[in-house]
């Protein structure tokens, strides 16, 4: 939620000469994205996002993220399109950082999504999974079990500061996941972070998906389980079955789940809740107060983990 | 440089129904303005700024600021135009705060203004002074000598932490200003904060003036003196005589200075440097580190104060 790097108009104009976007009219630093610096540009040809990649993003991952966005956009998915430079490179350098120009998507992200939006998101997620099937590059999920373990090893000694008993509770989850985490599920490119702030709507119609900087190869059903966590819980932490039903219906209207995927959904949802709890917990314990990184309370994901432990089958999420 | 208040799309759309701006397409929190929360809106009729006034702005001053912007825009000055609501009120309420919709001005503010830009700013400042002459409302300058005195009383005990001897140095300035601060100079509406980040350019052409939230009634030449401080010093604190000449020439090409104003320029420039030193010093000493308000080093204005003390006549700034 911050502009980490300022850019002067002279260096920006020089940078833009390499891109077929017309003349610069204005640019404003915007408060979006927790990892990068983003500017909204107006030019004589329209609106664009300029992203400068700060040190939290691995430069070697950028070709995967940007190539994926181009692949998906060319397949007709509504997502931002990184603009190729006239020199043939999509990634340039600005203010000493890797930088790209991406088409601007109109639309608003919903602070309070409703049932109709959950259905749309389910459908869009399935379309993303299908559109990504012939994308040639791969990227392992750095936030799969091995990655969780690293975060947990760092956070473990102080976990009980957040909630007494948390260390023992999460240790038990790890023991179970290491024994029975599902393997061999249908896999491919997943978004891995499809939260409401990454989905734009115009009215009730989904207008675009953004922020592919956690995208990777993993089980499709895991991505869907993350959406259950991100879209179907209310502010009081209760699971909204109507929203769950809509999300799963929307998904299956495009890509029906296999029996294995259906059976795996509860444990995947539990693992996904653990994953978001862990990144929040890690930041909560290690990032200084008042810094630029926004710290989010891990406890809402502790609640989700506990909810998912009570689930016996995916029907309880609304699966038909 | 922050979004203090988030706004949901539902409440924003409800708010916008009172303004003739079309349908909302997107809105992004932007990192501009140190006092308020600003969003850049795209609608079916164009781009707008939504400003939410946070507690640092006196609500009773808003009719002056907004009325002035409307007055100046109607006189042909390029500045943002607050949009009247269909209910006849320019100020509405959003997220519990006074809020307005203002037309968006294209253009970039210059991190490194050149001589040609100083001339443009001088001309625009004089045009603003003339356009404001028949504006009916008035607002005293809360950051004139009495206001400086309040800031100084608060900062005085710790001033020497910033630079040893600073307390005694500024005390001597106050003694002199209280004896010989010029009175009776031509006065009217002044911008009072016309720094480079408040002036937009497209190429070398000035495209607009923004941020009228310090505007008030005071001596015109004081406003010009502030521009000398804001535009004509280099990063090494040296005064650039070529820029000073261009700024003053530009101003006088529209509104020639009287002999009294010319004679007063050195002491006005000294007072203006003190004013910006004091607000920075006050924030420096009182605002906690890591907060949302950006703290700026007061020492560059201490250097300007010392420079102006050596000036014998406005010719040394480049006045012809």
pLDDT of residue A156: 94
Of B9, B30, B200, the CB nearest to A110: B9
Say yes or no: A143 and A221 in one domain: yes
**Cβ–Cβ contact A94 with B under 8 A:** no
> pLDDT class for B1, splitting at 50, 70, 90?
very low
Domain presence at residue B200: yes
- Is the per-residue pLDDT at B2 higher than 90? no
pLDDT of residue B34: 64
- Is the per-residue pLDDT at A10 higher than 50? yes
pLDDT digits (tens, 9 = 90+) for B116-125: 999 999 999 9
Residues of chain B found within 8 Å of residue A28, distances taken between Cβ atoms: 28, 30-32, 40
pLDDT digits (tens, 9 = 90+) for A222-252: 999 999 999 999 999 999 999 999 999 999 9
For residues A128 and A224, give the distance between their C-alpha atoms in angstroms, rounded to a whole number: 11
* Distance of residue B194 Cα from the nearest chain A Cα, in angstroms: 19
CA distances to A214, A299, B141 from A217, in Å: 10, 28, 61
For residues B195 and B200, give the distance between their C-alpha atoms in angstroms, rounded to a whole number: 11
Are the C-beta atoms of B319 and B265 separated by less than 8 Å?
Answer: yes
**Cβ–Cβ contact A115 with B under 8 A:** no
**Cβ–Cβ contact B112 with A under 8 A:** yes
Are the C-beta atoms of B190 and B216 separated by less than 8 Å?
Answer: yes
For residues A110 and A65, give the distance between their C-alpha atoms in angstroms, rounded to a whole number: 24
Last residue of some domain: A69, A103, A137? A103
> What is the arithmetic mean of pLDDT over A57-68?
94
> pLDDT class for B56, splitting at 50, 70, 90?
confident
pLDDT of residue B179: 93
Q: What is the CATH number of the domain that holds B22?
A: 3.30.200.20
**Does residue A141 sit in helix, strand or coil?**
coil
Q: How many domains does chain B have?
A: 2
> pLDDT class for B291, splitting at 50, 70, 90?
low
Q: Which helix (H) or strand (E) holds A93?
A: strand A92-94
B9, B13, B34, B211: which to substitute to probe chain A, counting the most A Cβ within 10 Å?
B9
Q: Do B32 and A31 touch (CB under 8 A)?
A: no
Q: Do A24 and B289 touch (CB under 8 A)?
A: no
Buried b / exposed e along B105-136 (16+ C-beta atoms within 10 A): bebbbbeebebebbbbbbbbbbbbbebbeebe
Say yes or no: A58 and A90 in one domain: yes
- Is the per-residue pLDDT at A294 higher than 90? no
- Is the per-residue pLDDT at A293 higher than 60? no
> What is the arithmetic mean of pLDDT over B171-198?
96
**Cβ–Cβ contact B3 with A under 8 A:** yes
* Distance of residue B98 Cα from the nearest chain A Cα, in angstroms: 21
Domain presence at residue B78: yes
Q: Where would I find the H helices in chain A?
A: 9-16, 62-74, 115-131, 145-155, 159-162, 166-180, 220-231, 241-254, 259-286, 299-309
**Cβ–Cβ contact A88 with B under 8 A:** no
pLDDT of residue A104: 97
Q: Do A29 and B24 touch (CB under 8 A)?
A: no
Of A55-59, A94-98, B253-257, B264-268, the range with the lowest mean pLDDT is A55-59
- Is the per-residue pLDDT at A285 higher than 90? no
Angle, CA A14 vertex, CA A11 and CA A16 arms, to 5°:
110
**Cβ–Cβ contact A235 with B under 8 A:** no
Q: Which one has a higher pLDDT value, A316 or A287?
A: A316
pLDDT of residue B292: 52
For residues A276 and A148, give the distance between their C-alpha atoms in angstroms, rounded to a whole number: 9
Say yes or no: B243 and B140 in one domain: yes
- Is the per-residue pLDDT at A292 higher than 60? no
Residues of chain B found within 8 Å of residue A112, distances taken between Cβ atoms: 8, 10
Domain presence at residue A109: no
Nearest one of A319, A198, A195, A295 to A247, comparing CA atoms:
A319
For residues A14 and A10, give the distance between their C-alpha atoms in angstroms, rounded to a whole number: 6
Of A94-98, A289-293, B104-108, B215-219, the range with the lowest mean pLDDT is A289-293
> What is the arithmetic mean of pLDDT over B257-266?
98
Of B6, B31, B290, the CB nearest to A290: B290
- Is the per-residue pLDDT at B131 higher than 70? yes
- Is the per-residue pLDDT at B32 higher than 90? no
Q: Do A108 and B24 touch (CB under 8 A)?
A: yes
CA distances to A195, A217, A220, B49, B52 from A266, in Å: 19, 20, 14, 45, 43
pLDDT of residue B4: 77
Q: Do B25 and A289 touch (CB under 8 A)?
A: no
pLDDT of residue A289: 64
Domain presence at residue A234: yes
- Is the per-residue pLDDT at B294 higher than 70? no
> pLDDT class for B286, splitting at 50, 70, 90?
confident
pLDDT of residue B138: 98
- DSSP-derived secondary structure letter, B314: G
**Cβ–Cβ contact A107 with B under 8 A:** yes
Tally Cβ neighbours within 10 Å of residue A285.
17
**Cβ–Cβ contact A110 with B under 8 A:** yes
Average pLDDT, chain B: 94
Tally Cβ neighbours within 10 Å of residue B145.
14
Last residue of some domain: A103, A135, A168? A103
Tally Cβ neighbours within 10 Å of residue A145.
15
pLDDT of residue A269: 98
Of B24, B109, B112, the CB nearest to A10: B112
For residues B251 and A225, give the distance between their C-alpha atoms in angstroms, rounded to a whole number: 64
Domain presence at residue B3: no
Say yes or no: B50 and B175 in one domain: no
B3, B26, B102, B210: which to substitute to probe chain A, counting the most A Cβ within 10 Å?
B26
pLDDT of residue A1: 44
Residues composing chain A: 320
pLDDT of residue B316: 97
Say yes or no: A272 and A196 in one domain: yes
Q: Dihedral of CA A118/A120/A121/A127: which sign?
A: positive
pLDDT digits (tens, 9 = 90+) for B90-118: 999 999 999 999 999 999 999 999 999 99
Domain presence at residue B110: no
Say yes or no: B156 and B31 in one domain: no
pLDDT of residue B284: 87
Domain presence at residue B4: no
* Nearest C-alpha in A relative to B107: A26
Ordered DSSP codes for A102-127: EEPPP-B--SS--HHHHHHHHHHHHH
Residues of chain B found within 8 Å of residue A202, distances taken between Cβ atoms: 25
B28, B48, B204, B208: which to substitute to probe chain A, counting the most A Cβ within 10 Å?
B28
For residues A291 and B224, give the distance between their C-alpha atoms in angstroms, rounded to a whole number: 38
pLDDT digits (tens, 9 = 90+) for A165-183: 999 999 999 999 999 999 9
Whole-number percent of chain A with pLDDT over 70: 96
> pLDDT class for A297, splitting at 50, 70, 90?
confident
Say yes or no: B284 and B309 in one domain: yes
Q: Do A40 and B30 touch (CB under 8 A)?
A: yes
* Nearest C-alpha in A relative to B26: A107
* Window 21-60 of B, Cβ < 8 Å to A: 24-32, 40, 42, 47
Domain, as residue range, for A50: 9-103
For residues A118 and B275, give the distance between their C-alpha atoms in angstroms, rounded to a whole number: 54
> What is the arithmetic mean of pLDDT over A254-264?
98
Say yes or no: B270 and B305 in one domain: yes
> pLDDT class for A123, splitting at 50, 70, 90?
very high
Say yes or no: B81 and B129 in one domain: no
Domain presence at residue A83: yes
Determine phi and psi for B233, rounding to 5 degrees. Answer: -105, 145
- Is the per-residue pLDDT at A153 higher than 60? yes
Say yes or no: B78 and B120 in one domain: no
- Is the per-residue pLDDT at B300 higher than 50? yes
Determine phi and psi for A23, rounding to 5 degrees. Answer: -90, 140
Q: Which one has a higher pLDDT value, A197 or B3?
A: A197
Last residue of some domain: A103, A132, A151? A103
> pLDDT class for A147, splitting at 50, 70, 90?
very high
* Window 5-24 of A, Cβ < 8 Å to B: 6, 8-10, 24
Say yes or no: A76 and A143 in one domain: no
Q: Do B30 and A31 touch (CB under 8 A)?
A: yes
Q: What is the CATH number of the domain that holds A188?
A: 3.90.1200.10
Say yes or no: A120 and A89 in one domain: no
> pLDDT class for B150, splitting at 50, 70, 90?
very high
Ordered DSSP codes for B75-140: TT-----BPPPTTS-S-EEETTEEEEEEEPPP-B--SS--HHHHHHHHHHHHHHHHHTTT-----B
pLDDT of residue B33: 66
For residues A37 and A99, give the distance between their C-alpha atoms in angstroms, rounded to a whole number: 9
- Is the per-residue pLDDT at B290 higher than 60? no
């Amino acid at each position: 939620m911050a502009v980490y790097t300022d850019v002067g108009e002279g260096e920006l104009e020089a940078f833009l000469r390499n891109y077929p976007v017309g003349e610069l009219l204005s640019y404003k630093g915007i408060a979006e994205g927790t990892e990068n610096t983003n500017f909204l540009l107006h030019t004589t040809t329209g609106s664009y996002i300029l992203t400068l990649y700060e040190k939290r993003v691995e430069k070697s991952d950028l070709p995967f993220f940007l190539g994926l966005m181009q692949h998906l956009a060319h397949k007709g998915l509504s997502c931002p399109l990184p603009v190729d430079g006239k020199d043939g490179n999509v990634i340039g350098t600005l203010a000493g950082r890797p930088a790209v120009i991406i088409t601007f998507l109109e639309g608003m992200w919903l602070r309070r999504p409703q049932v109709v939006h959950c259905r749309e998101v389910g459908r869009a997620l399935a379309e993303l999974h299908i559109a990504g099937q012939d994308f040639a590059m791969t990227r392992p999920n750095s936030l799969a079990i091995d990655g969780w373990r690293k975060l947990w090893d760092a956070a473990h000694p102080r976990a009980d500061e957040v909630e007494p008993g948390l260390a023992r509770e999460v240790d038990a989850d790890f023991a179970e996941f290491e024994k029975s985490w599902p393997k061999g599920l249908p896999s491919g490119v997943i978004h891995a972070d499809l939260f409401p702030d990454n989905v734009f709507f115009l009215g009730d119609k989904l207008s675009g998906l953004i922020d592919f900087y956690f995208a990777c190869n993993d089980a499709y059903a895991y991505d869907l389980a993350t959406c259950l966590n991100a879209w179907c819980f209310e502010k009081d932490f209760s699971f909204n079955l109507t929203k769950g039903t809509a999300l799963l219906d929307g998904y299956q209207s495009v890509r029906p789940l296999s029996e294995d995927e259906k059976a795996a959904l509860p444990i995947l949802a539990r693992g996904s809740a653990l994953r978001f709890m862990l990144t929040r917990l890690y930041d909560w314990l290690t990032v200084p107060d008042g810094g630029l990184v926004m710290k989010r309370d891990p406890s809402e994901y502790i609640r989700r983990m506990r909810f998912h432990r009570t689930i016996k089958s995916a029907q309880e999420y609304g699966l038909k």
